[in-house]
Structure 1
Amino acid sequence: MTITLPTKKKAPNRLTFLFVLLILLGSCDSLEDKKGRFLLKGNEKLEENDPKSAIGFYKEAIALDSTYSDAYFNKALAHLRLNQLDEAIHDFSSSIAYQSDNFEAFFQRGLTYLDNGEFYKAREDANRLISLNDKDWRSYFLEGLTQEKLKNFPTSLEAFQKATQLNPENSDLWVNQATIFYYQKDYSEAKKKLNQAEQINPSESNLHNLRSMILFDEKSYEQALESVEKAITLDNRQAYFYNNKGLYLLFLDRKEEGLDWINQSIQMDPKNPFALRNKGIYYVMKGDKISALQYLSDLEKSYPEMDMVQEYFQKAQAL
């Protein structure tokens, strides 16, 4: 009699087993885990300076949870990297809609409103920040910036002073105070504030630029040039530094060199009215009436209160 041995069962494929296990594990992920992973991936891309890819991951997170405040906030930051201000404001607003006490979202939206020229909306956010936390310097910092844009200089100065009291080691806040004193033509107080800022951070480029502007108004052109060159050495990305250097060179009778710096500033920021004014001043100095009026006529209508516009518009007409 033939003995029949039991048939051996085929061993399961290990790869198949692992694949099934991974599916089961994945299906156990909570919504929080899934959306959190997309948020982290977006953050990694943002750190890698790839905001477009970051936005894609944040959208995935929001698709899983349309009320995900953190994803909206980070997506807004990515839009800011791309200079997409309207999109950033929209996402900051969504973040706030789902987290009404989101201090950071109000602060960043307020700053973005300022950059977008929406000063009254920025003021509303500043007021909201103060109501949320009147012990945080940023509440008054945003208020100061907003009131400055609205040309309410005493209110702006008061806000910057409150911010400085809360954060006295922040050199920017001292420079902000100096800026308001400069607007008010109180150069003595402006210099004191700049000296205070320099004690805290001598590498703050804006303090050297503002000092150069004060020196220019005092007709100390060589010293003004030295100060703005120091600002450019510390930060060579600011178009208005280049523009100021060009202006000082014009008044040092280095006109062609000055024009080169002014043109470089315009290439960096074509809409800067101060650079266009300075180019008009150059043509007045050269005796070119037609070119001078080409720049100064529009400025005289759009920015009649800008320093030197009326003076050089009249000089251009008299050529």
Structure 2
Amino acid sequence: MLFIFKYLYIPIFLVLIIVGCSGQDKKDSADFFLKGNQALSQKNYAEALRLYDEAIAKNADFSDAYLNKGITLLKLNRTQEAYEVLTEAITIDPSLVQANLVRSEAGLDLGRLREAKQDLQLIEKEYKDSTRFYLIKGNIMEAEGNASLAIQEYDHSLQLSPKNVEALVNRGAVYYRLGSYPAAKADFQAAVTLRPDQPQALNNLGLIASREKKWGEALSYFDLVLNSNPADPYVLNNKGYVLLQTGEGSKAKELIERSLEKLPANGYALRNLGIYYQQNGQLDKALTEYLKAIDIAEPVEWLYGLAGRAYFSQNNKAEACKIWKQGVMLKDSISIAELAKNCR
């Protein structure tokens, strides 16, 4: 499965507040806030969250503490809570434009695309020279299915900062989906040059190598990711697919099943498990996995074509042609070829 960044790198806003004669509570709040920033910079997110809560308890109008608490919640994948906390920061201080920027990213992840766009529109003047602003804007365009506008925004982001790895990876992912594989490969390679351990770029280079049937090269990319994160469900599955193509079915099945344990609703992993069963002549089991993947209703390359082949191998031409016709509407290349050959 192709990787595109959902979360961007979120900078830590270390906002120093001036403590005057406003009382001990505000001084204590500032101390908790600064300690929270230190914990956040050390990726001690639970402690950072506790400290920001202490800061807010001492000073309920401390908008910067809400902002950094929202950032921390995003790091903990508590996106809905982060969105609410960032909204509180903006309510307290509408001029805190950093909170709009971070909230737009949280909104994107929650599927609140209209609100995410509105946040960016509110701060466009302040962020007209921000590579990150255009990166988020590109991500919103990509989520809306507008590939050409997404690429334009990523281009703008990279014009402002040619070393923006996230923009390179995300633009490459859009090129990949458009079938512009040389352009995608160039972006992923540029990202890896800047950051050799960048997992999304490495995974995506592995996918391109797989398309080129350079199986050894693909495995080397996937292994680089798995060496750092052995439980990554997407990369486990992608490596499993390569092993299916190189005659190592039992190892492939093990990896694909591990992937599904982590992420049961991965259509590509279900398809690949179906391929394993089909390779071993277990057509009923293959169809079970293919139909599970179809039920998820997400685009999975060759899924309908392979399911049709399984039906055809069972001498069930009617079901094969029916599912190939569905695949043709989804531009499934195997379905297009099989329908033309077998269902005149």
TM-score, normalised to structure 1, is: 0.80
Aligned to 2:124, the other structure's residue is in SS state helix
CA distance in 2, matches of 1:99, 1:276: 48
- How many matched pairs? 293
**Structure 2 match to 1:122:** 116
Specify which of 154, 160, 163 is matched with residue 154 of structure 2. 160
Q: Distance in 1 between matches of 2:164 and 2:43?
A: 27
Distance 1:53 1:207 in 2: 31
Closer/same/farther in 2, CA of residues 275 and 120 from structure 1, 3 Å limit: farther
Instruction: Report the CA distance shift for 1:201/1:50 in structure 2 as closer, same or farther (over 3 A).
Output: closer
Question: Aligned match of 1:290 in 281, 284, 301?
Answer: 284
Distance 1:36 1:209 in 2: 43
2:320 matched residue in structure 1: none
* Conservation of the 8 A alpha-carbon contact between 2:175 and 2:181: yes
2:55 equivalent in structure 1: 61
Deviation of 1:31 (Å):
4.1
Q: Does residue 272 of the first structure (1) align with residue 263 of the second (2)?
A: no
Alignment of 1:175-190 (within 5 A): 175-190=169-184
Aligned CA-pair RMSD: 2.6
Matches within 5 A, 1:233-312: 233=227, 235-236=229-230, 238-303=232-297, 305-312=299-306
Name the CA distance, whole Å, in 1 between partners of 2:298 and 2:41.
44
Alpha-carbon contact 2:270-2:292 (below 8 Å) kept: no
**Partner residue of 1:93 out of 87, 97, 118:** 87
Q: 1:87 to 1:282 in 2, by over 3 A?
A: same
Q: Which residue does the alignment assign to 2:133? A: 139
Distance 1:79 1:40 in 2: 17
What residue is the counterpart of 1:196 in the other structure? 190
Aligned residue in 1 for 2:223: 229
Q: Which whole-Å deviations, capped at 9, do the CAs of 1:16-41 have from their partners, x for residues lacking one? A: xxxxxxxxxxx984443132123234
1:108 aligns with 2:102: yes
Gaps of 5+ in 1: 1-26
The superposition leaves residues 223-281 of structure 1 with CA deviations (integer Å, 9 ceiling, x where unpaired) of 32233223333554632121111111111121111111112222333333322332232
What is the percentage of aligned positions where both structures have the same residue?
Answer: 26
Higher relative contact order (CA 8 A, sep 6+): 2
3-state SS of 1:133 partner = coil
Name the counterpart of 1:11: none
Label 1:215 to 1:137 Cα distance change in 2 as closer, same or farther (>3 A): same
Structure 1 residues 249 and 305: CA distance shift in structure 2, 3 A? same
Alignment match, 2:28: 34
CA shift, 1:46, in A, is 4.3
Task: State the distance in 2 between where 1:220 and 1:303 align.
Answer: 30
Matches of 2:48 and 2:210 in 1, distance apart?
45
Q: 1:284 touches 1:315 (CA, 8 Å); kept in 2?
A: no
TM-score, reference length from structure 2: 0.75
**Structure 2: runs of 5 or more not aligned:** 1-20, 315-344
